[in-house]
Amino acid sequence: MAKHLTSKDVVTLINLIDSWEGKLTWEILCDAALPMIGTRPTRQTLNSHARIKTAFGHKKGQQKDGFVPSKRPPSLRIAEQRIRRLESEIDRLKSENSELLVRFIKWQYNAYKHGISKEKLDADLPRIDRDSS
């Protein structure tokens, strides 16, 4: 049976995608994931995680736009790689944030539609009594 990805594995794979250089396919990503997470995930496993799928789509879009790195001394090349990785991460996070805002608006409308007040939505979570068994 295939190993399920932990949240740490998902973050590791997203960082890998954000810093990816060269041709990117699901199979190449699966091969690259092997040394990082200990097992080789399947394409279906990676595709089933929305954050990985979104990061993959953004990176493919960036590659289609045709960013071509220029020849620079190694120190500038490292800085350029870091900047590109951070820009990729920013784009992905902006997309995730807008998806969460859309979800929040849906929840807000549905709460209003079902008569749930703002006070009920803002109520504190119940305290968990961990001393009792």
Q: What is the pLDDT of residue 30?
A: 93
Helix (H, G, I), strand (E, B) or coil at 107: helix
Q: Are 17 and 52 in contact (CB under 8 A)?
A: yes
Q: What is the pLDDT of residue 74?
A: 76
Please state the domain extents for the chain.
Answer: 7-121
Q: What is the pLDDT of residue 130?
A: 81
Full pLDDT tens readout for the chain, 133 residues: 456 889 999 999 999 998 888 899 999 999 999 999 988 999 999 999 989 999 999 888 888 887 655 666 678 888 888 899 999 999 999 999 999 999 999 999 999 999 998 888 889 988 888 876 6
Token digits of residue 79: 């800085």
Closest alpha carbon to 53 in 66, 40, 41, 44: 44
Q: Are 103 and 50 in contact (CB under 8 A)?
A: no
